[in-house]
Amino acid sequence: MQLTTIGTGTAAPHPSRVSAAHLVQSGSVRLLLDCGSGAVHRMAALGVAWQDITHVALTHFHADHIADLPMLIMGWRWGQLPPRSAPVTVFGPVGTGALLEGMATVYGASILAPGFPLTVREIGADEVVKLPDGVELEGFPVPHTPESMAYSVRDGARRLVYTGDTGPSEALGQWAAGCDLLLAECSLPEAMAIPSHLTPSQVGALAATAGAQQLVLTHFYPPVETVDLRGEVGALYHGPVVLATDGWHHTF
C-alpha cells in the first residue's frame, strides 16, 4: 500500500499547501481521499497520474475537501486525449448524490454524465465496501459536520485510517485500533482549540488510543505550524510521527 499526501492544507490559502487530498494505491486501486481546492493541479505538478484514479471517497462536504472534484471530472473528459473511458466510483456519506446533483446545476450536466461510467455510492456508518484486488473501504462517523466520516482502507495485510476533519473522539481511536498508518488532521494549536478540529495533544491522544504503528499529520492551519508539533504530540503518542507536506509519499 502506498500513500501520497497531495494536499495537506485547509481552507486557509497557503504558499506550499493546497487543500485536503490524499492518494492511496494498492493493487489496481487508485483511491483519492478528498479532493479539495488546488488538488488537481497539485497532482499534475507532482507527476501523480490523476488520469488513473479509479475511486474517490469524500469525508464531508466542506469546500476544502470537495472543491476540485468538478475539475477532476472535467479533466478526465476534456483534459486528456483520448477522453477517459474507464469507470469511476465516487463514495461519500449520505447526501453525496445530492451534492453531485448540485455541482451539475452549477457546472453543467457533464458532471454527472461526463462521457464515461460514473457511479455515486453513499456509504453508511460501519459499512464495508469491497474494491478490486482485496481492498476494503469502510466509513466511520466523526464529530465535525453531521455527515462527516473517517475512512479505513485495508488490503489484507495493511490498514490505513484517515480521520478527515474531526473533533476529539474516543470511539474513533478505538475503531482505528491497530492501524498501520493513521493519517490524522492536526488543525489548530491548543490556544485555539474548538470542538470540531484536533489540536496536537488531542491527535497524540487519538493515536495512543489507536495504538497506531505510524502517525502522519495533515490539515495544518498556519497557526499550528508555529508550535512544537512533535513535542506536543509525542507527550502522549510515542510512535513515529511525520509532518506531511504536499507530495510526501510512503509505502508500507
pLDDT at 125: 86
pLDDT in tens, 198-208: 999 999 999 99
What are the residues facing 151 on neighbouring strands?
139, 162
pLDDT in tens, 51-65: 999 999 999 999 999
Mean pLDDT for 7-32 is 98
Cβ burial 82-116 (10 Å sphere, 16+ → b, else e): eebeeebbbbbbebbeebbeebbeeeeeebbebee
Residue 201, phi then psi, degrees to nearest 5 = -70, -35
Q: Please say whether the dihedral angle defined by the alpha carbons of residues 124, 127, 130 and 136, taken in this order, is positive or negative.
A: positive
What are the residues facing 162 on neighbouring strands?
151, 183
Alpha-carbon gap, residue 107 to 206, rounded angstroms: 39
Alpha-carbon gap, residue 5 to 23, rounded angstroms: 6
Alpha-carbon gap, residue 33 to 206, rounded angstroms: 20
pLDDT in tens, 189-244: 999 999 999 999 999 999 999 999 999 999 999 999 999 999 999 999 999 999 99
The model's confidence at residue 126, banded by pLDDT at 50, 70 and 90, is: confident
CB 212 within 8 A of CB 230: no
Residue 95, phi then psi, degrees to nearest 5 = 110, -10
Mean pLDDT for 124-150 is 96
What are the residues facing 147 on neighbouring strands?
none
Cell reading at 79: 483534459
Alpha-carbon gap, residue 120 to 88, rounded angstroms: 9
Mean pLDDT for 138-158 is 97
pLDDT in tens, 88-117: 999 999 999 999 999 999 999 999 999 999
Q: What is the pTM of this model?
A: 0.98
Instruction: Determine what percent of the chain is predicted with pLDDT higher than 70.
Output: 100
